[in-house]
Amino acid sequence: MLEELKKATWFKGRRGPVVLVIMDGVGYGKYEEGDAVRSGLTPTLNGFHATCPNTPLKAHGTAVGLPSDEDMGNSEVGHNAIGCGRVFAQGAKLVNHSIESGQMFTGQTWLDLVANCVDQKSTMHFLGLFSDGNVHSHIDHLKAMIERAKAEGVAKVRVHVLLDGRDVGETSALEYIDPFEEFLAGLNGPDFDARIASGGGRMYITMDRYQANWEMVKRGWATHVQGEGRQFASAHEAIETLRKETGAIDQDLGAFVIGENGQPVGRVEDGDSVVFFNFRGDRAIEITAAFEEDELPAFDRGRRPAVVYAGMMEYDGDLHVPKRYLVTPPAIDRTIGEYICAADLYSLAISETQKYGHVTYFFNGNKSGYIDEDRETYIEIPSDIVPFEQRPWMKGAEITDEVVEAIGSGEYDFIRLNYPNGDMVGHTGVYAAAQVAVETVDICLSRLKKAVDAAGGVMVISADHGNADDMYEHEKKTGAVKVENGKKKVKTAHSLNPVPCIIYDPEYQGEYAKELVSGLGISSLAATCLNLLGYEAPEDYDPSVLQPVK
């Protein structure tokens, strides 16, 4: 049972709603060159900074539960932290501990995977994002599992690589492929055979999310499971050839199959074991469904091999997806959404498809569905299925239309929304498009401002992590932009930069100091929003940015 929230004596709330705006991927850049947020035309955001209480918040590393402060934040852990008001150890950190302690390899799931391969003399397949970006996966986890599989008697391993170029350098695939091939060669021998079997760009195959584009999953299923597609002698050859033919960066490269004598070297067969080694859940749900669900209306799977399937983690705690998993995720409880429902307040969560699950599933502590359907409204605006740099405005206007109406309706006490533009367009590496993305969000903020003014509400403007604020690779010592082949080296990954926390309170009456508490992380947004709703935050929540004026 949740404890009852105490009413704040120093702040009674406002007559209008509290509106939490998450500008996904919009941070405070460290370098002027390459900062599409700073170079964009953002008069509304600039005006807020000039006139409103504001402070930077940490949004990466240990501030959001990741192993170290060298780890970039991401939307999953960011929305977890914002929604639950505290910091939980997150995916990468949990997997690291599980491997280092040996817990992963003594768990029943791992024992089942290995026993299946040993007993049936079958193949163990590993499928996942192939990099050290540490947002969805880490290649070191893959290596540790392959080494352990060999030690425990598995004779044949096949690896299906999803090329990154999004959380790491946009054309860095061979920096992972070539050393990995050497790693496998060092393990291979008379009793062990490990090879890369298939692959393709993460934004072309397999890693769709929120059911935005099932065709990606269909292509991945055909590639990894059926072994269908254009064949190459090696992953190195495939990547070099596809780059020359298409000019695509890693995340957009087409699918490929490694073959010998016209046959795929590693399609998935009856009796095999399959591990999806991503620890992050949003882009793991659909391929998991393809392996586990008896009925899958999204596409015709054709031959569906009978396998022992497991995910790195439980990707959905409510639906218990997947059925088997290697590492138990954090048990996130007592979220702000639960407290708001228990206080008999009404809330709205809204974004477009690309981030809808972040303001619902992740915000609610990795739980699907409503907390209280009578008190909550969730709205998903369908995203366009086009490269984001082609329409950098995305669905900002449509999201804003709904929120403006909701603010004016008087039906909601708390509204949370996510503008995906700075993140999704930032990931493309196209600087001009990223500027437009940020400018789109600024236009949307100007519309929200008018609605908040009329309703007498409060707007909290922040972000889950940075991205568009750091679009070029920089030299660590000098800060100069890296140059490669005469061109500035594009960065498509998230930044390590702090993000804004701005309080726009048009009916401010001096209840709290205009100087906000500094040095906090985005987990403090939950306590801040509860304060603005007129409540004291739970004692174990991370502190609010607001300082009461006694």
Name, in order, each residue with C-beta under 8 angstroms of 104's C-beta and a sequence gap of 6 or more: 95, 98, 110, 145, 326, 327
**Collapsed DSSP state (helix, strand, coil) of residue 224:** helix
CA 81 to chain centre: 13
Tell me which residue has tokens 């959001």.
Answer: 64
Q: How far apart are CA 471 and CA 469, in angstroms?
A: 6
Which is catalytic among the residues 39, 68, 75, 409? Answer: 75
Q: Is 479 exposed, middle or buried (0-12, 13-18, 19+ CB in 10 A)?
A: exposed
Q: Dihedrals φ, ψ of 74, to 5°?
A: -150, 170
Q: How far apart are CA 159 and CA 181, in angstroms?
A: 11
Q: How far apart are CA 319 and CA 317, in angstroms?
A: 6
Q: Dihedrals φ, ψ of 140, to 5°?
A: -65, -35
Strand (E) or helix (H) holding 440? helix 431-455
Going from the C-alpha of 93 to that of each of 64, 70, 270, the distances in angstroms are 11, 13, 33
Q: Dihedrals φ, ψ of 306, to 5°?
A: -85, 110
Name, in order, each residue with C-beta under 8 angstroms of 473's C-beta and a sequence gap of 6 or more: 169, 481, 482, 489, 490, 491
Provide the H-helix boundaries in 370-430.
Answer: 396-409, 421-424
Provide the H-helix boundaries in 124-204.
Answer: 139-151, 173-187
Closest CA to 125 of 325, 256, 274, 305: 274
Q: Dihedrals φ, ψ of 415, to 5°?
A: -125, 125
Cβ atoms within 10 A of the Cβ of 138, count? 26
The total number of residues shown for the chain amounts to: 550
Interhelix angle 91-101/139-151, nearest 10 degrees:
30
Give the E-state strand segments of 246-331 in sequence order: 256-260, 263-264, 273-276, 308-313, 325-327
Closest CA to 546 of 14, 57, 524: 524
462 included as an active-site residue: no
Tokens standing for residue 324: 């088997």
Q: How far apart are CA 1 and CA 4, in angstroms?
A: 9
Report, as residue numbers or ranges, the catalytic residues: 75
